[in-house]
Amino acid sequence: MKCHVKLSRIAFAFTSLVWQASCNNKPAETEKKLPEKVTFTEHIAPVLYQNCTICHRPGGNGHFDLVTYAEAKEYGPSLAYVTKNRLMPPWPADPHYTEFIGQRVMSDYDISLIENWVKQGMAEGPQDKMPALPQYPAGGSMIGTPDLILPLKPYLIKANTSDHFLLVKVPFELPRDTFASVIEFVAGPHDVVHHVNGDMIKYEFDKKKDVFAGEQITDMVEDSTIQMGFAKLQLQNDDGSWPVLQKSVVNYLPGVFALKYPEGIGGYRLPRKGAFLLNDLHYGFTKKDVTDSSHINIFFSRTPPDRPVQEFQLGTLGVSPVEPDLIIQPNTVKKVYSRYTVPQDISIITINPHMHLLGKSFKGYALTPKGDTIRLIDIPRWDFNWQYFYTFKKMVKIPAGSTIVAEGVYDNTTENHNNPFNPPQLVRDRNGSMKATDEMFQFIITYLPYKEGDENISLETH
The site for ligand HEC (CB under 6 A) is made up of 51-52, 54-56, 61-63, 75, 78-79, 82-83, 88-90, 104, 106, 254-255, 385
Residue among 320 and 419 whose Cβ is closer to ligand HEC? 419
From CA 9, how far away is CA 397, in angstroms rounded? 28
Residue among 193 and 233 whose Cβ is closer to ligand HEC? 193
Report the nearest approach of ligand HEC to the CB of residue 284 (Å).
9
Residue among 56 and 273 whose Cβ is closer to ligand HEC? 56
Residue among 84 and 272 whose Cβ is closer to ligand HEC? 84
Identity at 27, one-letter amino acid code: P
Report the nearest approach of ligand HEC to the CB of residue 60 (Å).
7
Report the nearest approach of ligand HEC to the CB of residue 221 (Å).
22
Residue among 89 and 424 whose Cβ is closer to ligand HEC? 89
Report the nearest approach of ligand HEC to the CB of residue 246 (Å).
27
Give the single-character DSSP code of 440: -
From CA 383, how far away is CA 81, in angstroms rounded? 17
Element (H, E) at 146: none
Give the single-character DSSP code of 46: H
From CA 235, how far away is CA 421, in angstroms rounded? 35
Q: How many residues make up the chain in this entry?
A: 462
Residue among 284 and 432 whose Cβ is closer to ligand HEC? 284
Report the nearest approach of ligand HEC to the CB of residue 11 (Å).
33
Opening angle at CA 165, ends 11 and 419, nearest 5? 105
Identity at 389, one-letter amino acid code: F
DSSP string, 204-248: -GGG-S-TT-S-SEEETTTSSSHHHHHHHTT-S-TTS---EEEEE
From CA 341, how far away is CA 402, in angstroms rounded? 5
Residue among 255 and 266 whose Cβ is closer to ligand HEC? 255
- Specify burial of residue 316 (Cβ count, 10 A radius: 0-12, 13-18, 19+): buried
Question: Which residue's CB atom is positioned nearest to ligand HEC?
Answer: 255
> For residue 445, how many C-alpha atoms fall within 13 Å in the half-sphere facing its CB?
32
In degrees and rounded to multiples of 5, residue 84 shows phi and psi of -60, -40
CB 279 within 8 A of CB 13: yes
Residue among 37 and 63 whose Cβ is closer to ligand HEC? 63
Residue among 56 and 202 whose Cβ is closer to ligand HEC? 56
Report the nearest approach of ligand HEC to the CB of residue 184 (Å).
17
Report the nearest approach of ligand HEC to the CB of residue 107 (Å).
11
Residue among 257 and 365 whose Cβ is closer to ligand HEC? 257
Report the nearest approach of ligand HEC to the CB of residue 327 (Å).
29
Which of 447, 450, 446, 429 has the alpha carbon at shortest distance from 438? 429
Sign of the torsion angle spanned by Cα atoms 58, 63, 68, 71? positive
Report the nearest approach of ligand HEC to the CB of residue 53 (Å).
8
Report the nearest approach of ligand HEC to the CB of residue 110 (Å).
8
From CA 66, how far away is CA 55, in angstroms rounded? 9
Residue among 133 and 317 whose Cβ is closer to ligand HEC? 133
CB 192 within 8 A of CB 292: yes
In b/e form, how buried is each residue of 295-314, taking b as 16+ CB within 10 angstroms? Answer: bbbbbebeeebebbbbbbbb
Helices 108-119 + 69-84 axis angle, to 10: 120
Report the nearest approach of ligand HEC to the CB of residue 115 (Å).
12
Residue among 87 and 231 whose Cβ is closer to ligand HEC? 87
Sign of the torsion angle spanned by Cα atoms 71, 72, 78, 79? positive
Report the nearest approach of ligand HEC to the CB of residue 57 (Å).
10
CB 447 within 8 A of CB 346: yes
